[in-house]
Chains A and B, each alone.
Chain A
Amino acid sequence: MRRIIRRIVDDFNIKKQANELGVKVWQAPSVLFILMGVVIVTAMTAIYFISRNNYSPEILIFSEIAVVAVLFTIGSFIIKSIEEVARANKMKSEFISITSHQLKTPLTEVNWEIEFLLSQHGKLLNQEQKDIIKTITNSNTKIIKLVNDLLDVVRIEQGRFILTEEKMDIVKVVEEVIEENKFLAKSSNIEIKFIKPDFVPEIIADRRRMKVVIDNFVSNAIKYIKSKGHIEISVDAKNDEIMVCVKDNGIGIPRSQHDIIFQKFFRSDNAAKYQTEGTGLGLYIAKNIIDQSGGKIWFKSVEEEGSAFYFSLPIKRNNPNNK
């Protein structure tokens, strides 16, 4: 009930609506619709009175034409404002896409130059200097990830999100993710445990994107453990599917927000309070990746106790696309 009332209040909060859409108040669709309603009611009343007092059909026709003209004008304003919003949305996507691409080359340059520097002159550096360089590399990698996320979101919005298919070993990907997050986990006093299964068959999926999903689970776990926590990662294979689970003893997600955590830009109240860093894009992208790969993604979480994030993927056998 409260939600419905809030919705109605929001519908009438024209200034807020105009701000959200980035248009002028008189261009907001609700204003134009209300205006249109007022015109229709006034016109009907006017026509009623005119036709009651005058029996001249000319006047009736003229007033009808006048009403239709006014309605057309308002209608064209509505169309124009919708077009403007759509155009702005498209421009935003293109802007993100172009700038992100432009950012990628210099970011790659930084990472490669640092790697080259370390490979050639690493021996001359002391531990403190090496740590500084490691921090720079980590920060740069973080920007690359963010840029990749932005590009993925734009692709999802434009319906151009394409996944590749290749044979991959999920255990190896988990190990890579652990290796890459080791430094960060250690500095937050977090222990990562990997329960490795005896045997996991290879699956066919987009390796890079699977790494994005697992990395998202693990880096979220690290981010939302207050201190001295532990993360347990497990991989299981049964009934023609593999399942990956990342469990933490972090701050958890409030019950009231369980339904919306995969939404774009969502950040839970307690997460935003506790940890300012985060875009709210990671799980949205992860869900799109897993859904599009034919898998399932879900979680269990209790506030103040921790969260466990899961995804499962079908093990495709005898796939004609096997390479």
Chain B
Amino acid sequence: MGKKIVIIEDDNILQDTLKKFLSTKGYEVSGAINGEDGVELVKKENPNLLLLDIVLPKKDGFGVIKDLKADESTKNIPIVLLTNLGNLDDVQKALDLGATTYLIKADYKLEEIVQKIEETLN
């Protein structure tokens, strides 16, 4: 069985394309479009990795990281930030909160995202 990935991304098209692409690479992918649902989904799925947007409705990426890091069962899940690098301060803040690494959506090809996921999983 493939490794599980959860995507929290509010842009439907981006989320959908990522989900489809990652599925073809053998991952088991599920997604949420806001922070609150996202945290619930992570707790339910207990994925091997989380792809997380920073700007999100209901609860932003920072809130999601805080919630997950505070919970014993989810605190070790690696988090890859999906950002468009509006502000590097935000990325740094998220990394300080415990995110593993980040990638810039507009500059990454899907294939490169898979590489980044594999690097992070290993």
A interface with B by C-beta (< 8 Å) = 101, 104-105, 107-109, 111-113, 115-116, 119-120, 144, 147-148, 160, 162, 164, 208
Q: Are B109 and A115 in contact (CB under 8 A)?
A: yes
Query: Complex Cα distance A91/B106, Å?
Result: 25
Q: Are A144 and B24 in contact (CB under 8 A)?
A: no
Q: Are A108 and B20 in contact (CB under 8 A)?
A: no
Q: Are A105 and B11 in contact (CB under 8 A)?
A: yes
Given contacts A116-B17, A119-B21, A162-B88, contact A109 B11 (CB under 8 A): yes
- CB contacts (< 8 Å) of A107 on chain B: these are 106
Q: Are A108 and B88 in contact (CB under 8 A)?
A: no
Chain B: interface size category: 20 to 34
Residue of B nearest to A144 (CB): B106
Given contacts A113-B17, A116-B20, contact A105 B109 (CB under 8 A): no
B84 interface residue, CB < 8 Å from A? yes
Q: Are A104 and B89 in contact (CB under 8 A)?
A: no
Residue of B nearest to A162 (CB): B88
Q: Are B105 and A108 in contact (CB under 8 A)?
A: yes
Q: How far is the CB of A189 from chain B (nearest CB, A)?
A: 27
Q: Are A101 and B84 in contact (CB under 8 A)?
A: yes
Query: Complex Cα distance A111/B111, Å?
Result: 12
B interface with A by C-beta (< 8 Å) = 11, 13-14, 17-18, 20-21, 24, 84, 86-89, 104-107, 109-111
Residue of B nearest to A107 (CB): B106
Q: Are A119 and B24 in contact (CB under 8 A)?
A: yes
Residue of A nearest to B105 (CB): A108
* Residue among A108, A109, A111, A113 with the highest chain B CB neighbour number at 10 A: A108
Q: Are B89 and A162 in contact (CB under 8 A)?
A: yes
List 19 A-B pairs, Cβ < 8 Å: A104-B106, A105-B11, A105-B14, A105-B84, A107-B106, A108-B14, A108-B105, A108-B106, A109-B17, A112-B109, A112-B110, A113-B13, A113-B17, A115-B111, A119-B24, A119-B111, A147-B106, A162-B88, A208-B104
Query: Complex Cα distance A284/B4, Å?
Result: 44
Query: Complex Cα distance A111/B104, Å?
Result: 13
- CB contacts (< 8 Å) of A111 on chain B: these are 106, 109
Given contacts A108-B14, A109-B11, A144-B107, contact A116 B21 (CB under 8 A): yes
Q: Are A108 and B84 in contact (CB under 8 A)?
A: yes
